[in-house]
Amino acid sequence: MTPPLDEAETARWVAWKRANDAVNAAVATAIGDASGLSVADFSVLSRVVEHGGGRMAQQELGDMLGWQRARLSRHLGRMAERGLVDRDTDADRRRRVVVTESGLRSLRAARPAHADAVRRVLLAPTSSPRGDEFWATLVRLADREDPRGGGAERGDGDRGP
C-alpha cells in the first residue's frame, strides 16, 4: 500500500494547489470583467477562431479541448443562447460550431485582459534565472501525465486560459 504524503510532500502539494487556484482565479476574473465570458467560453472561442478560422467541426473542438461530447454540447447550447456561437451541419452531416460577430467581439475584448493576467500572475513571478528550468519541468509533467497525449502543445497551451 502507498503511504500517505509526508509533511514536506503535503506542503508542496498544497502550495501547488494554492498557486494553481490563484492563477486560474485571476485569469477567470480578468476575462469575465473584460468581456463577460467564462474561462470555458474563452477556451471554445479561442480554439474555433485560431484553429478553425471561426468555424470548426464540433467533434474536432471537443477533441482539442479534451471535453466529453455531452459537456461540449451543453456548453455550446448555452453559448448559442447567448449569441456567441451558432451550430450548423456541414455537407457530411457533421455538427459544426461557428463563432458569431458577438462571440468575436467578446473574444477580442477578453484577449488583452487574458494576456495581462497571465503575464502578471504567472509569467512575471516565474521569470528568473531558474524560470527556464521551472517551465521545462511543467512541460515534462504535462507531456507525461496528459492522458490525451501531446501535453502542453495541445489544449490550453495555445492562448487558452
Domain range list for the chain: 11-157
CA distance 15 to 39: 23
Share of the chain above pLDDT 70, in %: 89
Question: In the prediction, which pLDDT does 147 show?
Answer: 60
Share of the chain above pLDDT 90, in %: 78
Is pLDDT at 1 greater than 70 in this prediction?
A: yes
| Cα distances (angstroms) measured from residue 105 to each of 37, 41, 69, 81, 101 | 11, 13, 26, 16, 6
Each residue's pLDDT tens digit, 128-159: 888 899 999 999 998 886 665 554 344 443 44
Average pLDDT of the chain?
Answer: 91
What's the pTM?
Answer: 0.85
- What does CATH list as the number for 11-157? 1.10.10.10
